[in-house]
Amino acid sequence: MSQYNIEEEIEEIAGGEFERTPVPQSNLKSWKSFLGMYAGEHAAGTEFTIGPLFLTAGVSAFDLIIGLLLGNLLAVLSWRFLTAEIAVKHRLTLYYQLEKICGKNLVTGYNLANGVLFCFLAGAMITVSATAVGIPFDMEMPKLTDTMPNGPTWVIIVLVVGAVISLVASKGYDTVSKAANWMSPLIVLAFLACGVVALNQLGVKSFADFWNIWGNGSEPFPGQIKYTFWHVVIWSWFANAAMHIGMSDLSVFRFAKKASSGWTTAAGMYVGHYMAWIAAALLYAVYLKSPEAQTMLSNGEAPTVAPGPLADNAIGIFGIIAVVLAGWTTANPTIYRAGLAFQAIVPKLSTFWVTIIAGTVATIAGLFPAFAMKLLDFVALYGFILAPFGAIIVFEHFFHKQSGIMKNYAELEGIAFNRAVFWALAISFALFYFISLQFDVFLSFVTLPAWVLCGVLFLVFSKMWQKKVKTSI
C-alpha cells in the first residue's frame, strides 16, 4: 500500500477533519467562519472570572484600559502575521507539522501535555457554565479559594454540562464554528448589558465618576500579587500564547482561504478580552459592595468570583443564559483542539472518540473549581509551557533558508527524535523557569524570551547537527 493510500485510510477513519493531510481547496472557509468562532470563544464564560481577578490584583483604571488595548493588539498581530501566515502555506494541524520537524517520539510527549492542558482549560469553562446552571437549583457557589467540589448538586450539574459540550465538540470543526456563530451575538450583547447595568449600580454618570471609583486601583486581595501596566500588557498578549505564538491555531486557520482571516481574532480580543473583561470587573465591583462581600473582606477572605450569580444580579435570566452559552462556545473549540492533540498520538482512533475522551477529562477537571478560580496563574503557566514549541515552527518557516538547515528534517531523514528540538526546548524552559522562580518574576514576563531563545537554539543546533549528519554520509 502506498504512503498516499495509508494517509487516505487514516483520514477516512479519523472522520474527515484532515488531521494528517492538507485541507483541500473545497473545504476552505471565508473569514466569516472565523469571525463568529473567535468572538464566541473569547467573549466567554471565563471572562466573567478573569475580569474580576484583575480587580483582586489591584489594577488601576489606566493600567487596565490602556494595557489591555496594547496587549490585545499584539495578540492580534501575532495571529495574523505568524499563525495564519504559516497555516495557509501548509494547511496542516500543529501536531502533524511538529511531527515532521521533531519526529514522532518527541512530539508524542508534547501532544499529550498539550491535550491535557487544553482539557484543564476547557474544564474551567465548564465550571463557569455550571455556576449559571446551578442558580435555579439554589446551588452553593465555589469561592475564590475553593479547590474541591462543594456538593452533589455541583457534581451532577458539571457532569451534565460537560456531556453536552463534549458531544457538540465531537461533531467536528463545522459544528463548532456554526454553534459559535449562532451564540456569539447574544453573548456579546449580554456582556455589554452587564457593563452598562454595573455602571448604573455603581452610580457612574460620567467618566470622572468612573475614575473616582476605580482610579489608582487598590491593594491586592489576600493571595494575589499587585498588577501593573506591564502585567496587564504582557498577560493579555500571552493569555493565548499557546494559540498564536505557540501555533496551536494552525489547526484552526488551516481552513482559511487567506491569511487575512487572522484579523478576525480582533473580534475576540476587543469584544472578549477588552470589553468583556472590563464589564466583568465592573460586575465584581458591584458585588464587593454587598454585605456578604464586605463581611468576607473584613475577615481577610477574598470574596467569591462566581460568574453565574454576577451576571444574574445584573441582568437576570438573560445573564444566566449568556454565561452558560459563553462557557459552551469557549469549551467547544478548546476540547476540539485537545481531541486533535490526542488523535496525533493515536491517529487511527476516530475524531469522535478522541474528542469524547478529551471532553471526559475536561469534565472531570471542571468538577474542581481551582482551575477557574486560579485562571490567571494557570493560563500564564500553560502559555509558558506550550509557546516555545511554536517557536520551532516559526523559526524553521521563516529562517530555514538563511540558516541553511533542512526543513521537515525528521520526516526527510526518517528519525523519530530530533535532538536539536529537544535541547532547544529543554534549555529555554529550564533557564527561564528558574529565573521566574529564583527572582519571583511573573511567568508571562519570561514567555517571550523563552520563545525567542528556543527558536534561536533550534536553528543553531540544527545547523550543527544536520551538518554532521551530511558530512558523515
Domain residue ranges of the chain, discontinuous segments joined by +: 30-391
Residue 205: all three cell numbers together: 454618570
Exposure string of 312-326, with b = 16+ CB inside 10 Å and e = fewer, is bbbbeebbbbbbbbb
Gap between the terminal Cα atoms of the chain: 29
What does the alpha-carbon distance between residue 177 and residue 92 come to, in Å, rounded to a whole number? 18
Short-list 81, 52, 74, CA closest to 444: 74
What does the alpha-carbon distance between residue 230 and residue 78 come to, in Å, rounded to a whole number? 18
Per-residue confidence of the chain (473 residues) as pLDDT tens digits? 333 333 333 333 334 567 667 788 878 888 888 887 787 677 766 677 788 888 888 899 899 999 999 999 999 999 999 999 999 999 998 888 998 999 988 888 888 888 888 898 889 888 888 888 888 877 777 765 677 887 888 899 999 989 988 887 777 666 666 666 677 788 888 888 999 999 999 888 888 888 877 777 778 877 677 889 999 999 899 988 988 999 989 988 999 999 999 999 998 899 888 998 899 888 888 888 888 888 888 887 777 777 888 888 888 888 888 888 877 777 777 887 788 778 878 877 887 888 889 999 999 999 988 777 777 778 888 889 989 999 999 999 999 999 999 999 999 999 999 999 999 999 999 999 999 999 988 888 999 999 999 999 999 999 999 866 554 44
Q: What is the DSSP letter of 150?
A: -
**Single-letter amino acid code for the residue at 92:** L
What does the alpha-carbon distance between residue 133 and residue 155 come to, in Å, rounded to a whole number? 12
* Predicted pLDDT of residue 179: 66
Short-list 143, 172, 159, 153, CA closest to 15: 172
What does the alpha-carbon distance between residue 124 and residue 32 come to, in Å, rounded to a whole number? 27
Residue 246: all three cell numbers together: 505557540
Q: What is the CATH number of domain 30-391?
A: 1.10.4160.10
What does the alpha-carbon distance between residue 53 and residue 179 come to, in Å, rounded to a whole number? 28
* Predicted pLDDT of residue 470: 54
Residue 256 contacts residue 27 (beta carbons within 8 Å): no
Residue 413: all three cell numbers together: 531523514
* Predicted pLDDT of residue 73: 97
Residue 363 contacts residue 123 (beta carbons within 8 Å): yes
What does the alpha-carbon distance between residue 32 and residue 274 come to, in Å, rounded to a whole number? 21
Strand partners, 29: 256
* Predicted pLDDT of residue 121: 85
| Three-state SS at 29 | strand
Short-list 422, 416, 406, CA closest to 470: 406
What does the alpha-carbon distance between residue 53 and residue 312 come to, in Å, rounded to a whole number? 19
Q: What pTM did the predictor assign?
A: 0.82
* Predicted pLDDT of residue 467: 65
* Predicted pLDDT of residue 251: 83
Distance from chain centroid for Cα 336 = 12
